[in-house]
Amino acid sequence: MAARADTLRGSGGPGAGVRIVFQHHALVRLTHWLNVPLLAGMIVSGLAIYWAAPVFEHAANPNTGSTDYLADLSVWIVRHVPGAAGYPRPTSWIYDHFSIGPGQLALALRLHWFFAYLFMANGLLYLIGLLAGGGYKALLPRRADLKQALAMQRYYLGVIPAKLLRRPWPHPVVTTKYNALQRAAYFVIPLCAALAVLSGWAMHKPVPLHWLERLFVNYNGARAVHFLMMVVLAAFVIPHVILVFADGWDTFRSMITGWSTRTRESRHE
């Protein structure tokens, strides 16, 4: 969208005035970026722990010897993804590439606790930043969200064909910091992270936290939720990064500097 051009790069000398809006509290920016190494650490150690006794398992497959679904997915990848073809240990392709490796349980546990405490501390700092800057107000769901979410989906589905056909394809009018889809994502993802932490504690200390274990039905319930929340958090990164690229430099910069040159007026022309 032409209206989203970066005004810092427009015409005018270094003394020219530029209007900026403050987008993200410093703590929100810091904790946002810390999530990258912390989540990566949780996942590479967590998958190595999961390898020791997968919760999603089945009877041994006579062809591959696999007893768990993640190993099945590994085998599928080795069979169908060109770069992985011919991998000597097909059942452990995912564990070999996305974890610190099979047979590393003792180290994986120590790494997992280290990253887990930092991840929890980071989550608390994030909440403090959201409260201090009032940023949480932009994340709360509201009544018109469903309608706007549908409009945004329609927009995203059509934006590439429309561009190819050189047809006008206006962005739905958004008068708030985030559109309804962003709001839903940024509201739900922290909840998923909280659920990952809670299910982690439920399986880590099921004796003192027996009520928490019950909340996930039983021990394996907590394990299943913990694994699925990892999948949700990892999967969220993909559209998140694509959409930031699509949205442009200003959006990326605002998560580092805190401000945006996109004022409400320049946004929706």
Partner 1 sequence: MSKKPPEPVRPRGLFTEPEPRSAVMTRGALKKWARRDFLLFGAGAAAAAMGFWWLLPDGAADNDLPRGAIDALDTTAARLGLTKDRRERFLNRSLTFDDDVAEALYSRDRSVRTYSKSDVTPLRNNYNGATPRADSLADWKLKVSGLASGKTELFSLEDLNSRFPLHEQVTRLICVEGWSAVAWWGGLRFADFLAAYPPAPGAKWAGIESGVNLDIDGNSDPYYVSIDLETARHRQTLLATQFNGKPLPLEHGAPLRLLVPMKLGLKNIKAITEIEYSAEQPDDYWAKRGYSKYDGL
72 binds partner 1 (CB under 8 A): no
What string marks each residue from 3 to 32 as x (binds partner 1 by CB under 8 A) or -?
-----x---xxxxxxxxxxxx---------
Residues 6+ apart with CB under 8 A from 163: 169
d(CA 134, CA 140): 11
Cβ neighbours around 182 below 10 Å, total: 19
CA distances from 231 to 25, 110, 224, 267 (A): 28, 22, 11, 34
Site for partner 1 in 105-144 (CB under 8 A): 105-107, 109-111, 113-114, 117, 134, 137-138, 140
d(CA 130, CA 115): 22
CA distances from 119 to 32, 54, 111, 180, 217 (A): 11, 23, 12, 27, 25
Between 17 and 62, CB nearer to partner 1: 17
Site for partner 1 in 248-267 (CB under 8 A): 253, 256-259, 261, 263-264
With CB under 8 A as the rule, give the number of residues binding partner 1. Answer: 65
190, 126 contact by CB (below 8 A): yes
83 binds partner 1 (CB under 8 A): no
86 binds partner 1 (CB under 8 A): no
Which range in 37-45, 146-154, 163-171, 185-193 contacts partner 1 by CB under 8 A?
Answer: 37-45
**Which residue ranges make up the site for partner 1 (CB under 8 A)?**
8, 12-23, 33-34, 36-37, 40-41, 44, 49-50, 52-53, 55, 96-97, 100-101, 104-107, 109-111, 113-114, 117, 134, 137-138, 140, 176-177, 203-210, 213, 219-220, 223, 253, 256-259, 261, 263-264
